[in-house]
């Protein structure tokens, strides 16, 4: 992907490419309830909210490593295993900030959070890939996010 093409895509605002209809969970939901939501929605992670405010994230890996491996019961509340150290962007941030965050933190999804703390949406690697013009750009983008290579160091 040329610098000009990347620049045009990266200068879009997060609100322009985020998925705004996001399935969420609450900290009181059980491991089983969240696992069913993830399975039915074909998702690897879910934002955890209190009202509209983002308070955590849970991944399928969190369920396996922090719950099942530690012998927790399927009725355990997700609040016990969710990640509370959240890396997010604002709707008005440039997409390159989300891409940078994905690469730096080796994450595949970035919540988009309003100044108030309310969840506005989520940006996944697929959302970024959909903005790219061709298959080569998509492959390069996904590879670079997954490997942690920085776009801006080219």
Structural domain contains residue 154: no
Give the range among 26-35, 45-54, 119-128, 133-142 with minimum mean pLDDT: 133-142
Structural domain contains residue 58: yes
Provide the residue range defining the domain that includes 124: 3-149
Number of domains observed in the structure of the chain: 1
Q: For residues 115 and 112, what is the distance between their CA atoms, to the nearest angstrom?
A: 10
Structural domain contains residue 115: yes
pTM to 2 decimals? 0.80
Model confidence over 62-83: pLDDT tens digits?
999 999 999 999 999 999 999 9
Q: For residues 105 and 109, what is the distance between their CA atoms, to the nearest angstrom?
A: 10
**CATH number of the domain within which 131 lies:** 3.10.580.10
Structural domain contains residue 53: yes
Structural domain contains residue 20: yes
Structural domain contains residue 117: yes
């Amino acid at each position: 992907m040329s610098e000009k093409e990347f620049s045009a895509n990266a200068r879009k605002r997060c609100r322009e490419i985020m998925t705004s209809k996001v399935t969420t969970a609450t900290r009181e939901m059980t491991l089983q309830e969240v696992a069913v939501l993830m399975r039915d929605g074909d998702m690897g992670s879910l934002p955890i909210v209190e009202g509209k405010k983002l308070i955590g994230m849970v991944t399928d890996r969190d369920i396996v490593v922090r719950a099942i491996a530690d012998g927790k019961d399927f009725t355990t509340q997700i609040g016990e295993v969710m990640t509370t150290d959240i890396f997010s962007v604002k709707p008005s941030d440039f997409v390159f900030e989300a891409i940078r965050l994905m690469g730096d933190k080796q994450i595949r999804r970035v919540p988009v959070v309003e100044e108030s703390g309310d969840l506005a949406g989520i940006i996944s690697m697929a959302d970024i890939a959909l903005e790219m013009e061709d298959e080569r750009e998509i492959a390069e983008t996904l590879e670079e996010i997954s490997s942690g290579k920085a776009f801006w160091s080219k």
